[in-house]
Structure 1
Amino acid sequence: MITPASSSALDPALDMVIFGGAGDLSARKLLPALYMAHLHDSLPAETRIIAVGRADWTREQYLNFVEERSRPFVDNHALNDQAWESFLARFDYARVDISVADTYGHLAEKTRGDALRVFYLATAPNLFETVCDNLAACGLIDDRARVVLEKPLGHDLASAKAINASVGRHFPEDRIYRIDHYLGKETVQNLMVLRFGNAIFGPLWQAPYIRSVQITVAESVGVGSRAGFYDGTGAMRDMIQNHLLQLLCIVAMEPPVSLDPDAVRDEKLKVLRSLRPMTIETISRDTVRGQYAAGAVDGESVKGYLDEAGVPAGSVTETFVALRAQLNNWRWANVPFFLRTGKRLRDRRSEIVIEFADMPFSIIPRGPYAHANRLVIQLQPEESIQLQMLAKEPGSGMHVLPVSLNLDLQQALAGRRAEAYERLLVDVIRGRLTHFMRCDELEAAWAWVEPILSGWKALGDKPRSYISGTYGPAASSALMARENMVWAEEA
């Protein structure tokens, strides 16, 4: 066997145990992220990765799976044959039937009593309780054990509370890592520094100086092979309840007293609890559901949601949501937050747009440019920050044009930029909880989202059809137009 590559001296030894180790998430995200951490000496020297699955595989058969399914998701420039072989040397495989306690003995035989044990549950959430119960029954949970919970963390408030309670019976809160990969993105973490490290933004980051906030997470892909999962979930549960509300929290939170995990998460919780509850009337007025129809994306014809394999006939699951949210606090009084996400949209783009208020009085004629200042924080496909301003057009007169001060983070900040999963996995290993949700955050998010889901059902609301390759139903633009605003790409 090839000896693993040398690593920084991090103690103790680590057993990373991945339930669902042969699943799609592991193949596409977790294993490539662990390889990058291995390549850059971010793993303890004595790290072992133990994949757990039901297949009756040998270790060699699992390594073939890693070679075939995970290696293609590693950037070519990062592939190094020697490093890859030493990475594979860290692996072992345990055949475990999650629902059968007796089979956990195979796993217990492979773990080390003196190692830090990280259990990554890349499984359906309804299995979390069973896994934790069986891990405890075979003596694998102690004060050296941590657990990582992959979303979706529940289907509604009751199921989220049940997950928190069942996992909490075995792990204290400071050893539970509820992962949201958006919180691992460099630009999202940089937003904390942008807000709280720069004096120029501090006094302006509130009403009445900010007119509105837009948060968009747009996907050009359809449901693909996830139709079975997605049709029972929809865009509200899949994206709004976690990713977009977490982004809203970071934009809207008060300055924490420190970067201590609970200090940060206390402030995020206050934001979630200050979200104005929606009534049937406001649900009807301030939310838009959509479902993609056939169209074209990137020049290629694509089918509609109802024609995707595995989608039930007549499904009313939404693949698009736009909504207007309001915070009941002094900092954000009367400032609307517009959230939007969807599949089969025109392009893949995630961004936060802070639109500053107009000058109270201006002597400069603006012509067609209605809004002078916007801060655009782009999360993907590229990470950048732009401050949009007005400047004088060269020549006579005082004609103005919009210009941008661009910060390309790839060029401005030297050094390698780790992907979100890699950064968060390293945080788990090092015991850093700041960028993971706490149980009360999760429940507060569900407490706000659940009445909207119930309201749609009570209203008999069916999703509006939108053509693939557009930016969703026309009603989404109308939601903004009511307040004389437009989505950023329409400006």
Structure 2
Amino acid sequence: MQSNKRPPASVLFIFGGSGDLNYRKLTPALYNLFLDNWMPDQFAIAGIGRSAYSNEKYHEHLLDGVTKFSRRKGKQNGHWTDFTQHVSYLQMDGDDAAAYHKITDLVKEKEEEWGVHPNVIFYLAVAPQLVPSIAQKLGALKICGEKSTTRIVVEKPFGHDLESAHELNLLLSSMFAEEQIFRIDHYLGKETVQNILALRFANALFEPLWNRNYIDHIQITAAEAVGLEGRGGYFEHAGALRDMVQNHILQILCMIAMEPPVSFDANEIRNKKVDVLNAIRRIGKDQVHDFAVRGQYSGGWKKGEKVVGYRQEEGVNPQSNIDTFAAVKFYIDNWRWQGVPFYVRTGKYLNQKATHITLHFKQAPHYAFPPESAETWRSNRLTISIQPNMDISIRFQAKRPGQTMMLDPVDMTFDYDAVAGEHAPEAYETLLLDVMEGDATLFMRNDQVDAAWRVIMPILEAWENRPPQDFPNYAPDSWGPDTADALIARDGHTWLNLPPTP
């Protein structure tokens, strides 16, 4: 194990400790932090749930999740046994206020054992409708009044619309200080997303070109190759615009578009992101059809397997008008980006799983080269791939070998996976470590949440008031409805579809 500067003593309570998020993501992330020597010298993890588990059975359940979903499988030379000495299970109902003494009892026990008051972290890995009730009961605990050592982590979705998000913010802020509230978006923990800041602000090569003078347009794609995966009940109340654009995609857009920060202080970074959200041009309800398109997948074939349409999925209304695909054209009205379109799209059952950002630069003048050299002329572009590959690629023009001046586009790629391999931390590892350290840089502030909802509310309201007449309108294994191609083609552009991973 390498030696790292580790967080102070911490007790982490995971509400939903027997649930899927902890099984697939949180415990594998915490175990990897332990293996990499990032966990505090003194720490305790308590899963909270209604299911009946002994500590031993709970450890077996979590090990199964680590074996299936972690970047490093299994017990790792016996370290699993060492890790689980810090892990316990509290069987309790989050609605039972009387049971919350189990939390304070455990904190007091660890405080006496360690001789120091630990950080106390409450991770709410539960359904959104359970968050207000649990938060209110936690807020009544004396330990939650200790602002510097107590934190609450809330998973997305943060509200269903602007009004509900505002109400949830008011509720949380009535019991916790803003610096105690960590609104988590796991996309911001991905290595390549964080690398956007390094790429932009640590290199004199890029920042002078990062504006409307040199960039023609920007595309952000977050495509999913899978369907609902049993989440019909959730998705029927969400849709692609709420589920992906309002949080993940807008946060990525902010990192691409933000102004240079004067420091990497958490609030300085978040101030710059809020500035971007506030500068996004609001789309009038009568203009939505010019700036946004929606889709819903039909039944068909996906990689040789027959799949049902969205309306035939379990938990879905047979007449559902929920969008499983959304594409939007945004403009940012400020000095840096005036007139540069940002095209974003996301959807289920698309051709491949891919999340990437592409900056398309303006065309260079052709006149200095012979006409035949321009046959394969392409504008420069910079592509940041987040998944399934993690890489950054620059396309530029180069002379084709031979006696004539013929040009070809070539790519220069930095492959993050090749450099980091299994050592590249997963998103939840980064974010959980930040929570323990109290670093809120990668977490959404209350005004960010409100600003993001204000951006998409006109689209949501227009779609809710005008039921689509063409659903379902795209087949599985495609790149979405034809209207998405038309949205970008009107401006003379086409979507960039990266080749699938071998």
Establish whether TM, by shorter chain, passes 0.5: yes
Shift of 1:102: 0.9
Q: Helix, strand or coil for the counterpart of 1:141?
A: helix
In the other structure, the counterpart of 1:390 is 397
Match of 2:142 among 114, 136, 139: 139
Question: 1:353 is matched with which residue?
Answer: 358
Q: Deviations over 1:194-242 (max 9, x none)?
A: 1111111121100121000000001101001111101110001100000
- In 2, are the aligned partners of 1:156 and 1:450 still within 8 Å (CA)? yes
Q: How does 1:10-21 map to 2 (within 5 A)?
A: 10=6, 12-21=8-17
2:165 maps to what in 1?
Answer: 160
The residue number in structure 1 matching 2:207 is: 202
Q: CA deviation at 1:367?
A: 4.1
In structure 2, the residue matched to 1:173 is 178
| Secondary structure class of the residue paired with 1:488 | coil
Is the counterpart of residue 67 in structure 1 residue 63 in structure 2?
yes
1:403 aligns to what?
Answer: 410
Find the counterpart in structure 2 of residue 120 from structure 1: 123
- Helix, strand or coil for the counterpart of 1:225? coil
Q: Does 1:22 align with 2:30?
A: no
SS of 1:56's equivalent in the other structure is coil
> 1:216-365 alignment to 2 at 5 Å?
216-360=221-365, 362-364=367-369, 365=371
- Aligned match of 2:448: 441
Q: Is the 8 A contact 2:300 2:309 kept in 1?
A: yes
Give per-residue Cα distances to partners, 1:6-42, cap 9 Å, x unaligned: 9867463211100011111111111100110011111
Please state how far the C-alpha of 1:461 moved relative to its aligned partner: 3.1
How far the C-alpha of 1:169 sits from its partner, in A, is 1.6
- Asked if structure 1 preserves the Cα contact closer than 8 Å seen for 2:224 and 2:350, the reply is yes
Choose which of 88, 102, 118 in structure 2 pairs with 1:92: 88
1:75–1:6 Cα change, 3 Å:
closer
Q: TM-score, normalised by structure 2?
A: 0.93
8 Å CA contact 1:8–1:43 kept in 2: the answer is: no
CA offsets 1:37-77 (integer angstroms, 9 cap, x no match): 01111111211110011123332232232133443212355
Contact 1:217–1:341 at 8 Å: present in 2 too?
Answer: yes
Matched length: 487
Structure 2 residue ranges without an equivalent (≥5) = 112-116
Note the alpha carbon deviations across 1:122-159, whole angstroms, 9 max, x for none.
11223222112212324341322111110000000111
**CA distance change for structure 1 residues 362 and 97 in 2, over 3 Å: closer, same or farther?**
farther
SS at match of 2:474: strand
Q: How far apart are 1:81 and its partner, in Å?
A: 4.1
Q: CA deviation at 1:358?
A: 0.9
Q: Deviations over 1:355-384 (max 9, x none)?
A: 001124543345454632000100010100
Which of the residues 434, 438, 456 maps onto 2:463?
456
Task: State the AA in 1 paired with 2:64.
Answer: E
Tell me whether 1:418 sits opposite 2:414 in the alignment. Answer: no
More off after superposition, 424-433 vs 407-416? 407-416
Superposed CA deviations along residues 450-490 of structure 1, whole A, max 9, x for unmatched, are: 11100112233354521100110111111111011011128
Change (3 A) 1:128 1:76: closer
Closer/same/farther in 2, CA of residues 75 and 253 from structure 1, 3 Å limit: closer
* Separation of aligned partners in 2, 1:9 and 1:441: 30
Q: 1: CA distance between counterparts of 2:43 and 2:276?
A: 38
Name the aligned partner's letter for residue 485 of structure 1.
H
- Written as runs of structure 1 = structure 2, the 5 A alignment for 1:77-88 is 79-88=75-84
The answer as to whether partners of 1:128 and 1:167 remain within 8 angstroms in 2 is: no
For the 8 Å contact 1:219–1:345, the answer to whether it is kept is: yes
SS at 2:357's partner residue?
strand
Change (3 A) 1:76 1:299: farther
- Distance in structure 1 (CA, Å) of the matches to 2:426 and 2:375: 40
CA contact (8 A) 1:9 1:45 kept: no
Residues 1:370 and 1:235: Cα distance change in structure 2 (over 3 Å): farther
CA distance in structure 2 between the aligned counterparts of 1:250 and 1:122, rounded to whole angstroms: 26
